[in-house]
Amino acid sequence: MHILVTGGAGFIGSTYVRALLSGDYPAFAGADVTVLDKLTYAGNPANLAAVAGRPGFRLVSGDIADAPLVRELLVPGSVVVNFAAETHVDRSIDDAGSFVHTNVTGTHVLLETALRQRADRFLQVSTDEVYGSIPTGSWTESSPLLPNSPYAASKASADLLALSYFRTHGLDVRITRCSNNYGPHQHPEKLIPRFTTRLLAGRTVPLYGDGRHIRDWLHVDDHCRGIQLALERGEPGNVYHIGGGTELSNRSLTRELLAACGADWSAVRHVADRLGHDRRYSLDDSRLRALGYRPRTAFAEGLRATVDWYRSHPDWWATRAEYDARYANADERRDTPCAASSSLEVRQPGSVH
């Protein structure tokens, strides 16, 4: 068995690869695993250091939109798990070009190659943001796609392309749509690591708008278990929701983070709201629960362990926090252009590590 994991050096993809190569998913035991990752500012080979020497594992630096490279790596019969994406909503508001390139064109290249190479299965990792915002109740998998941000629109586009390859060509495509992930190894541009790393450094945290926006928090380990379940027991052409079961306003979450980091509300700065800011996301995940999915990580425990991880890994986030200084001081957000790249070296497509 060969598994091509795209975006496997990022937050969720690397968590999936570490679990896979640590034997957490017995159905895939002994599989060869290729990670294809462009190593953008969000990709970090250190996330895969724990499994770098495992037999059958390799990390290839390159772009999912590079068709010849994808054809070389996606050997006939592969299972494809596509995590690769531009993922930060604020960045997509500043410049959506890379989101269209990776999330739409890149996914198309993967799908087309998967079809030609007769891939065994293709799992597209998607998001609750494709549905827009919901004031009460929860979305089912057949709710209409009404994305608001350019990021969400690019993910919705990818989902529609993926489903079209199932409906038109019969490619075995499955889609998972999850809620907000948290856990170790998440880039400090996202709320929980951003607030945690800033508070640990004695800095203030920028709360967008009135802070009453609601997100459902899902531990990354539970998300990866849900993806694996959809791969093993899901049906071709189906969409599966993966929820965390912990809905919190950003204000409430901020209070938890202040307490975990030994700070108080005086560290909170109320800053301009995100443009088009979705008020609430909520997924009905009963379809995957019927296959046996249950989130296992209690939020209080998961959050405590996550804060501890950031506390004990300053080297991991210090370099990533350069991003924060350059780009995302939220009260200056409106005046500060988005940094398109980071200080991380991006190796030439096709170099194998």
| Contact by Cβ (8 Å): 207, 162 | no
CA 267 to chain centre: 28
Q: Does 64 bind ligand NAD (CB under 6 A)?
A: yes
Q: Does 157 bind ligand TDX (CB under 6 A)?
A: no
Taking the complex as a whole, the smallest distance from the CB of residue 23 to ligand NAD amounts, in Å, to 22
| Contact by Cβ (8 Å): 150, 296 | no
Q: Across the beta sheet with 79-82, what order do the strands follow?
A: 239-242, 173-178, 121-127, 79-82, 2-6, 32-37, 57-61, 351-352
Give, as ranges, the residues between 161 and 180 that touch ligand TDX (CB under 6 A): 180
| Contact by Cβ (8 Å): 253, 191 | yes
Return the residue of 206, 243, 244, 302 that touches ligand TDX, per CB under 6 A: 206
- The residues, ordered by sequence, that sit 6+ positions from 47 with a Cβ below 8 Å of its Cβ are 9, 10, 11, 14, 18, 185
| Contact by Cβ (8 Å): 328, 203 | no
How many chain residues interact with ligand NAD (CB under 6 A)?
31
CA 54 to chain centre: 24
Q: How many CB atoms are closer than 10 A to CB 339?
A: 16
Q: Does 139 bind ligand NAD (CB under 6 A)?
A: no
Position of minimal CB gap to ligand TDX: 127
The piece of 19-27, 58-66, 108-116, 321-329 that touches ligand NAD (CB under 6 A) is: 58-66
For residue 140, what are the CA distances in angstroms to 96, 192, 230, 277, 280?
A: 28, 26, 16, 21, 15
Give, as ranges, the residues between 279 and 338 that touch ligand NAD (CB under 6 A): none
DSSP string for residues in 218-285: EEHHHHHHHHHHHHHH--TT-EEEE--S-EEEHHHHHHHHHHHTT--GGGEEEEPPPTT---B--B--
Return the residue of 108, 121, 190, 241 that touches ligand TDX, per CB under 6 A: 190
Taking the complex as a whole, the smallest distance from the CB of residue 202 to ligand NAD amounts, in Å, to 26
Q: Does 129 bind ligand TDX (CB under 6 A)?
A: yes
Position of minimal CB gap to ligand NAD: 10
Q: Does 187 bind ligand TDX (CB under 6 A)?
A: no
Q: Does 96 bind ligand TDX (CB under 6 A)?
A: no
Return the residue of 61, 82, 87, 107 that touches ligand TDX, per CB under 6 A: 87
Instruction: Tell me, residue by residue from 203 to 222, as one string, x for binding to ligand NAD by CB under 6 A and - for no binding.
Output: --------------------
Instruction: Tell me, residue by residue from 92 to 131, as one string, x for binding to ligand NAD by CB under 6 A and - for no binding.
Output: ----------x---x------------------x-x----
- How far apart CA 109 and CA 80 sit, in angstroms, is 12
Q: Does 34 bind ligand TDX (CB under 6 A)?
A: no
Q: Does 89 bind ligand TDX (CB under 6 A)?
A: yes
Return the residue of 70, 85, 109, 283 that touches ligand NAD, per CB under 6 A: 85
Instruction: Give whichever of 194 and 219 is closer to ligand TDX, judged by the CB atom.
Output: 194
Q: Does 330 bind ligand TDX (CB under 6 A)?
A: yes
User: Which structure tokens are listed for 61?
Assistant: 């630096």
**Coil, strand, or helix at residue 31?**
coil
Active site residues: 128-129, 151
Beta-strand pair 173-178/351-352: unpaired
Q: Does 10 bind ligand NAD (CB under 6 A)?
A: yes
- How far apart CA 87 and CA 289 sit, in angstroms, is 26
Q: Does 92 bind ligand TDX (CB under 6 A)?
A: no
Residue ranges binding ligand NAD (CB under 6 A): 6-7, 9-13, 36-40, 42-43, 63-65, 83-87, 102, 106, 125, 127, 155, 178, 180-181, 187
Residue ranges binding ligand TDX (CB under 6 A): 87-89, 127, 129, 180, 190-191, 194, 206-208, 213, 215, 250, 274, 330
